[in-house]
């Protein structure tokens, strides 16, 4: 039987060859980043900024090296007009924007505090399109995403993609480096008994979040009348991948400590792409007060509250935010 590679899948599902080129470039960047992550200890670049290597040179962190890979590889895409990266303050323009050109938003390395302890990290991306010639606005709401996806650098490297229809997962074959279709039509189970939140922030939370988590923790004896499990990996990619596989709800709310910043996670390259993936898989993505993908962005690095995952749990959380 012929393996369905990422290229075969894209040629069957994506009408615009320029979008195929761009998605293949993103996948190549992710493959290169997987190698950087795996070899990081040899190069001395697992740590934070300003680490000296044995030659006394300052090492770049893997966040910066991962950003460089996205820039280096994706800049070849003929219809890519601009890059918006977590690691770069300003928008990087690659060409004079023309209607139909693509805009790429990305978090080159997500969960980077996990690098030092050899746990899962990832990359996240979203793609939108320029609507009129010369339009240099990149601040569009998430509903305009044409594709979104992530790479997970875990025990295996995976590439998970949605084009607005299905969510499809590919696993990197160790040897050939091919991304092969392994997880067709991924769906978030609508019911779950597993939640993910950084509970060390409990004292900063608003009432609806405290109420939800208190009720989960109360288990069988509480109003939920069943036991709940908790996971927190500190890598949104790993968290979302788990939810796509076995269900769950992920929360990074605005709280009294981060509210002035808007929350913790960034709208354009963390919340929006994950919202599109979760919703295409049958889940729900909300701030608690409205859909994430309806937010009108005010800046490329804007932060927002994030609640997403299994439909029944997110809908319950939305109800709790109304009282
Ligand atoms: P990044 O490494 O790109 O800055 O993102 C880290 C994010 C996200 O992946 C994760 O869910 C969250 O930060 C972890 O936050 P805590 O440190 O509060 O656990
Ligand atoms: Mn991140
Ligand atoms: Mn990052």
pLDDT value for 3: 87
Give the domain-ending residue among 118, 152, 183: 183
CA 208 to mean position of chain CA atoms: 25
> Which is the closest atom of ligand 1 to the Cα of 235?
9
Q: Give distance in angstroms: CA of 265 to centre of ligand 2.
A: 7
Judge if the beta carbon of residue 199 lies within 6 A of ligand 1.
Answer: no
User: Which of 183, 210, 236 is the endpoint of a domain?
Assistant: 183
- Least Cα distance to 317 among 226, 243, 209, 206 occurs for 209
- Asked if 237 and 162 sit in the same domain, the reply is no
Ligand 1 contacts CB of residue 63 (under 6 A): no
Instruction: Say if 25 falls within a structural domain.
Output: yes
* 125, 29 contact by CB (below 8 A): no
Distance CA 287, CA 291 (A): 6
Helices (H), the chain: 6-13, 17-38, 40-43, 62-74, 207-218, 236-246, 272-280, 311-322
Residues 212, 67 share a domain:
no
CATH code at position 236: 3.40.190.80
Say how far apart CA 318 and CA 227 lie, in whole Å. 21
Contact criterion met (CB below 8 Å) for 262 and 304: yes
Report percent pLDDT > 70 for the chain: 95
Q: Cα dist. 192→113, 206, 210, 245 in Å?
A: 28, 23, 18, 11
Q: Whose CA is closest to 179, among 2, 1, 8, 15?
A: 8
Tokens of 107: 């978090």
Which of ligand 1's atoms lies nearest the C-alpha of 234? 14
What tens digit of pLDDT does each residue of 216-266 get? 999 999 999 999 999 999 999 999 999 999 999 999 999 999 999 999 999
CA distance 309 to 251: 9
Q: Is the CB of 61 under 6 A from ligand 1?
A: no
Convert the pLDDT of each residue in 177-213 to its tens digit.
Answer: 999 999 999 999 998 999 999 999 999 999 999 999 9
Q: Domain tally for the chain?
A: 2
Among 271, 240, 268, 237, which residue's Cα sits nearest to residue 253?
Answer: 271
User: What is the pLDDT at residue 291?
Assistant: 98
Indicate if 40 and 69 belong to the same structural domain: yes
Residue 1 counted as domain residue: no
Range of the domain at 157: 6-183
Q: Which CATH number do you get for residue 24?
A: 3.30.540.10
- pLDDT at position 251: 98
Residues with beta carbon < 5 A to ion ligand 2? 107, 110
pLDDT at 49: 57
Ligand 1 atom with minimal separation from the 110 CA? 3
Ligand 1 close to Cβ of residue 185 (< 6 A): no
Question: Would you state the pLDDT for residue 60?
Answer: 67
pLDDT value for 50: 57
How many residues in total does the chain contain?
323
pTM for the model stands at 0.96
Per-residue model confidence (pLDDT) at position 206? 98
Provide DSSP, 185-200. Answer: S----S--SEEE--GG
* Spatial distance between the Cα atoms of 172 and 158, rounded to a whole number of angstroms: 6
Mean pLDDT in consecutive groups of 10 residues from the start of the chain, 323 residues: 89 95 97 95 70 55 94 95 96 97 97 92 98 98 98 98 96 95 96 97 98 98 98 98 97 98 98 98 98 98 98 98 94
Question: Which of 252, 262, 268 has the most ligand 1 atoms within 8 A of CB, as the residue to mutate?
Answer: 252
Contact predicate 239/196, CB 8 Å: yes
pLDDT at position 2 is 72
Three-state SS letters, 261-317: HCCCEEHHHHHHHHHHHHHHCCCEEECCCCEHHHCCCCCCCCEECEEEECHHHHHHH
Q: Are residues 151 and 287 in the same domain?
A: no
Q: Which two tokens stand for residue 111?
A: 């969960």
Q: Which pLDDT value is given to residue 58?
A: 56
The residues, ordered by sequence, that sit 6+ positions from 147 with a Cβ below 8 Å of its Cβ are 19, 23, 126, 127, 161, 162, 163, 164
- Give the pLDDT of residue 44: 75
């Amino acid at each position: 039987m012929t393996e369905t590679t990422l290229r075969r899948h894209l040629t069957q599902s994506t009408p615009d060859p320029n979008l195929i080129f761009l998605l293949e470039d993103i996948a190549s960047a992710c493959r290169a980043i997987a190698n950087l992550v795996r070899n990081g200890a040899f190069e001395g670049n697992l740590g934070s900024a300003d680490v000296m290597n044995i030659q006394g040179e300052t090492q770049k962190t893997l966040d910066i090296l991962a950003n460089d890979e996205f820039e280096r590889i994706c800049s070849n895409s003929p219809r890519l007009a601009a890059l918006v990266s977590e690691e770069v303050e300003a928008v990087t323009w690659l060409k004079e924007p023309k209607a139909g050109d693509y805009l790429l938003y990305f978090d080159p390395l997500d969960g980077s505090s996990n690098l030092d302890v050899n746990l899962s990290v990832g990359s996240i991306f979203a793609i939108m399109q320029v609507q009129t010639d010369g339009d240099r606005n990149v601040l569009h709401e998430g509903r305009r995403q044409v594709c979104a996806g992530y790479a997970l650098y875990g025990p295996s490297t995976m590439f998970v993609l949605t084009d607005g229809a299905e969510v499809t997962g590919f696993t990197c074959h160790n040897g050939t480096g091919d991304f092969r279709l392994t997880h067709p039509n991924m769906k978030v189970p609508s019911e779950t008994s597993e939640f993910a939140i950084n509970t060390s922030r409990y004292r900063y939370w608003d009432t609806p979040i405290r109420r939800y988590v208190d009720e989960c923790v109360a288990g069988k004896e509480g109003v939920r009348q069943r036991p709940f499990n908790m996971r927190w990996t500190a890598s949104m990619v790993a968290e979302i991948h788990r939810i796509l596989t076995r269900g769950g709800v992920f929360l990074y709310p605005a709280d009294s400590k981060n509210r002035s910043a808007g929350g913790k996670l960034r709208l354009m390259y963390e919340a929006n792409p994950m919202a599109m993936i979760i919703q295409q898989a049958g889940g729900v993505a909300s701030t608690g007060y409205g859909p994430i993908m309806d937010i009108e962005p005010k800046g490329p690095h804007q932060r927002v509250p994030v609640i997403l995952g299994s439909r029944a749990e997110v809908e319950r959380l939305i109800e709790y935010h109304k009282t």
